[in-house]
Amino acid sequence: MTLPSGKFVLRLNPRMHQLLRQEAESKKLSLNQLIVQKLENTEDNRWSNDLSVCGGAGGTDLAGGGADGGASVGGAHEGTDLGEALKAIDLEVLKEIFTPEAVILFGSASRGEMRSGSDVDLLIVLPKSQPVNRQLYRRWDERFCSESDKIAAPQFSHFPKGDPASLWLEVAVEGEILYDPHGSARRQLTAIRHQIAKGGFVRKMSHGHPYWVKRTKSHAK
């Protein structure tokens, strides 16, 4: 029997989500770390030894109602530099395993707002010939999953066709390119930024998390 990927979405009512965010912030943990900690402390510990804190396929994503379904902890942050963020990954090994077309850092790490326990969000852009599936996240966990302070959380994708998804719009605004041998990511992000600058997309917030929608006549009023 094939093992599950270890990634699932837990949908909560907004009040419970807020309480968990506040508790995670007070303990200087990410939401993933807090939930795993709570599971490990349960009285039924038959399976708790198999739990590990890991981004990507190994973590628990708590959906707070945003378009991309990922939850993160807000509040005060400890600044960090790029070198600190990259301690969570080995870029050369990443390139060898996944042969990406580009790797882009985004989220709190690219904004300089990381703190202890923050995830390092990575957009890993794959060639069109390589499908995006759960096996990629399993391979990631086999090589990169650890209980280090900085946990890399990958998002595998292809370069967008047509209108970019919310993830790509957010990355265009705040992303920092780590690997882009042919300049494809730079050109793609520049094109998306031009679309944003022309007013083609509107950035909104839901439960503290950003998402983007295409601008319509109703938005222009």
Q: The domain that contains 189 carries what CATH number?
A: 3.30.460.10
DSSP state at residue 67? T
Residue 210 is assigned to a structural domain of this protein: yes
Residue 125 is assigned to a structural domain of this protein: yes
Task: Name residues whose C-beta falls within 8 Å of residue 221's C-beta, 6 or more positions apart in sequence.
Answer: none
Residue 88 is assigned to a structural domain of this protein: yes
Structurally, the chain folds into a number of domains equal to 1
Helix (H) or strand (E) holding 49: none
pLDDT score for 16: 75
pLDDT score for 95: 94
Residue 172 is assigned to a structural domain of this protein: yes
162 phi-psi bin (left φ>0, alpha ψ -120 to 50, beta other): left
Note the pTM of the prediction, 2 decimals.
0.62
Residue 63 is assigned to a structural domain of this protein: no
Residue 59 is assigned to a structural domain of this protein: no
pLDDT score for 216: 75
pLDDT score for 4: 54
Residue 94 is assigned to a structural domain of this protein: yes
Question: Could you tell me the mean pLDDT of each successive run of 10 residues in the chain, 221 residues long?
Answer: 55 72 76 74 52 42 32 32 67 93 88 73 94 92 67 90 91 92 96 92 81 72 52
Buried b (16+ CB within 10 A) or exposed e, 60-72: bbbbbbbbbebbb
One-letter amino acid of 154: P
Structural domain boundaries enclosing 187: 82-214
What six digits make up the tokens of 144? 């990169």
pLDDT score for 69: 31
Residue 204 is assigned to a structural domain of this protein: yes
